[in-house]
Amino acid sequence: MVIGFIGIVLVGPFISKVFNLSSGLNALNGSILLAVMSLPTIISISEGAIREVPKDFKVASYALGANRWTTLIRVTIPAAFSGIIVSIMLGIGRAIGETMTVLMATGNAPAMPHSFFDSVSTMTATIAIEMGEVPYGTTHYYALFAVGAVLFIVSLGVNLIAELVTAKYQGRRT
């Protein structure tokens, strides 16, 4: 919620002024905030994956005459690649599940956007807003559950891809 407030108070007016828009509550605002929210997850898990690369890999690279930059690019990052990909997937999963920040920062307009400068409504925000007021057992009620099922399937897909990447690249480290 704090980041959503920052989106309304700081990022939205900035976007509005820079791009000469009537409102800064749009898809671009939401995208920027989701990227900022996902970064701590991505950075901390990637850092852990890079720290887990065996020191022997780096020592061997230095022994072969590589400098720090070459060792980082050719040895450390490839060895930590699966962990880096998993961190990105978890960051994406966090962004997909975010509700309130997006609800506050994107204008929540239930219409098809034509550009990043249009207000949008996300699936999570739609469920959060409408589920409390929709009559039980109606088509609208079941449609909201279908939206939730789609979100679940997308999240499951992202996690499965992360698992496959981890399994594929895990054997390359040793």
Structural tokens at position 79: 């060895």
pLDDT tens digits, 131-162: 999 999 999 999 999 999 999 999 899 888 88
Region of 85 (left: φ > 0; alpha: ψ -120 to 50; beta: rest) is alpha
Query: What CATH number did the domain enclosing 135 receive?
Result: 1.10.3720.10
Helix ranges (DSSP H) in the chain: 2-6, 12-18, 27-51, 55-63, 68-71, 77-97, 100-105, 123-130, 139-170
First-to-final CA distance of the chain: 43
Residue-number span of the structural domain to which 40 is assigned? 2-173
The sign of the torsion formed by the CA atoms of 66, 70, 74, 79 equals positive
In this prediction, residue 174 carries a pLDDT of 47
Q: pTM of the prediction?
A: 0.79
- The rounded distance, in Å, linking the Cα atoms of 86 and 159 is 8
Beta-carbon-side half-sphere exposure of residue 94 (alpha carbons within 13 Å): 17
pLDDT digits (tens, 9 = 90+) for 43-53: 999 999 999 99
Cα 162 to Cα 51, 106, 138: the distances in Å are: 19, 28, 36
Looking at the structure of the chain, the number of domains it has is 1
Mean pLDDT of the chain: 91
Q: What is the pLDDT of residue 97?
A: 82
User: Residue 107's beta-bridge partner residues?
Assistant: 120
Q: What is the mean pLDDT of residues 7-33?
A: 94
**Structure-block tokens of residue 145:** 């559950």
**What 8-state DSSP symbol labels residue 135?**
P
